[in-house]
Structures are given as structure tokens and as C-alpha cells.
Amino acid sequence: MKICRHFGTCGGCSFQDMPDDAYRSLKRSFVVDALAQNGLANTEVDSVIEVMPQTRRRAVFKATKRGGEVQIGFHAAQSHAIVDMHECLVITPSLFALVGSLREFLVTLLNDGEDIEVHATGSDTGLDIAMRWSRKLTPAISAGIARWAQKNKIARVTLNGNIVTEFGAVTVRFANARVALAPESFLQPTREGEAALRDKVLAGVKNAKAIADLFAGCGTFTFPLAQKAKVHAVELDKSALAAIAAAARATQGLKPITTEARDLFKVPLSGSELKPFDAVVMDPPRAGAKAQATALAASAVRRIVYVSCNAETFARDAGILTKGGYKLGPVTPVDQFLWSSHIELVAAFTR
């Protein structure tokens, strides 16, 4: 296995030098240990599903200009210093090519001493770039960014939440639906990992006919589920819900999809609101879904499929659900953040 030239300095990959078997065992142990700490030591934990290198389609790059030169990449381990990226075995080739292009462009865009943060996501129609910078947008800055984006075939660029240039719809396909993404929309880190999670979610809901898709994002699971069941997608981000609704109207062959804007951390679906659904899918952020898990534990929903990017908060919520009478099935770790301490997972609960 090739070791990245920045290993040991860059904070992105802590375990790249481990033998494969030891590395997979370590990643699995993150899930096993979290479950044990929450009274679920006897839970079956599957082998880790691991994506291939150079497949991560989203990244956040830090950049700074000092002494007339631009450094761009990730932070060094336990530091705010930037490791100037000249190799990466994690991100897609198109994202890595973007780094070189940005390095050249930012020499002209930034003043000496300035910093900028660049969020980059690979969509089906090209790269979607969101810049965060202390400066306000001016006609000159806008024109410079537009020229750079056109030259490098960037689909869209936003600066501090404002669209600077857009050369076409930024879209991604979920099942048979094509969803137009709002700026800075969340996508699973890799296409392969998304497919693994999707397959487990579809298997976990069995033959459910009415499903609540909680923390639905822009529809990663909504549309695959809607091929066989009515789906109610709940999400706080109204732009994501609008994208789901628009794609649902434009896609044939789906069961009905409804949407609801709601902060599930503060106002989870209650037992009475959960009554119409025979399955719930939820994919919360790293904080987990404690309030919603508590409401589900008191509900009569027969099946829950929980997708998580944090083993600790998943285990906490799993403890709530099992104490409420649910049985936890096998937990499948999915490694979309290669050689890091992060691990995602998916598991089904049944009554």
C-alpha cells in the first residue's frame, strides 16, 4: 500500500500506515466499544464495508497567502497550520486537480496575509464550490471567479452564501430522480458508501408501505424508498425540502412523497404523529437523535433504520430504543473516511 507523502504531517489520515487487517479491526472496534459502553456489548457487529481510495467527493480546503505564495490543503495534525497539498490518496482525482487550479488562482485573488476556506463537492454535473472569505463580493472579484470557474468547468461557485456564477444546474441522482442541489447541500462522502448505506436501509424497512424519512437532507434515501412506499421527508433545511419536492414532481413511477420543515432536535415527531408509519429511517448529524429516539421508544413503529456518522451518539440512542422495547439487529460499519478515526454505520431496530 502506497503511503501519502504528507502522512505524519497532515491531520487527515492517522492510520494509513497500518496493515489492512489491523486497520479494519480498529475501525470495527470503534463501533464495538461504543456499543459496550452503552450496555449493548452483545450486539452483532458486521465486518467493515470499506470504500476505495480516491473516492471521497467532498472536502473542505483551507488556504492562506503568505509572502506572495499560496498554501492550500488540510490542517496539520492537532494544528491550524496548513499542509500544502501535493498528493492525496483519499479525495477524487477531480477534487485533487481542483487544489492545483485553486493554488494558482488564489495567488491573484488573495491579498498577502489573507485566508480563505473552500468547500468542494462533486455532483453529477460538475464541482460545486462554496468559498468563505472575509471580503465582500465586488464586480471585480465576481468577474475573476467567473473566469476561473469557466476555464476549469466548475458548475457553480458561491461566496459567503451568495451565488457568484452558475453554468448549469448542479444535480445528483438518487434512484430514478434527479435532484437539483442547493448550495452547500449535504451529500454522503462517497458514491460507494452511499450505495452501501442505501442497500442496508432498503433491506431494513422490509415491506413497509408508509415511511418517515427523518433528517432527510436532499433525499438520499427518500427517493429509493419512494420506489415502493409512501415517504414523508422531514428536514430543517427548507431549500433541501424544496429540492426533494421539485424532483418528486418531475419523476415518474414514485409513490407519493410529502415534505415537512421541522427541527427534530427540538420538536421530534410524537407518538401520535408516528402512528401512520410502519417504518422510520433517520440519518441525523453527529449529535445523533436523542429526542427523536426517546419519542420512538414510546411509539408503536415496527421498524427503524438508523444511519449514523458517530458511533458514540448512535450507541446512546440505540440504548434508548432497546430500553423502549426494540431489538437491535446487526450493526454494519461503513468506512467512508479512510484512515481517519471517523466511522459511519447503519442498523435496523424491530418491535
Q: SS3 of 280, please? A: strand
DSSP 47: P
- Is 10 a residue of the active site? no
DSSP per-residue letters across 137-179: P-HHHHHHHHHHHHHTT-SEEEETTEEEEESS--EEEETTEEE
C-alpha span between 254 and 248 (Å, rounded): 8
Measuring CA to CA, which residue among 321, 139, 304, 328 is closest to residue 205?
304
Q: SS3 of 182, please? A: coil
Q: Is 140 exposed, middle or buried (0-12, 13-18, 19+ CB in 10 A)?
A: exposed
C-alpha span between 312 and 317 (Å, rounded): 9
Q: How large is the C-alpha radius of gyration of the chain?
A: 21
Q: SS3 of 57, please? A: coil
Q: Kindly name the residue from 10, 13, 88, 309 that is annotated as catalytic.
A: 309
C-alpha span between 72 and 65 (Å, rounded): 9
C-alpha span between 337 and 190 (Å, rounded): 9
Catalytic site positions? 309
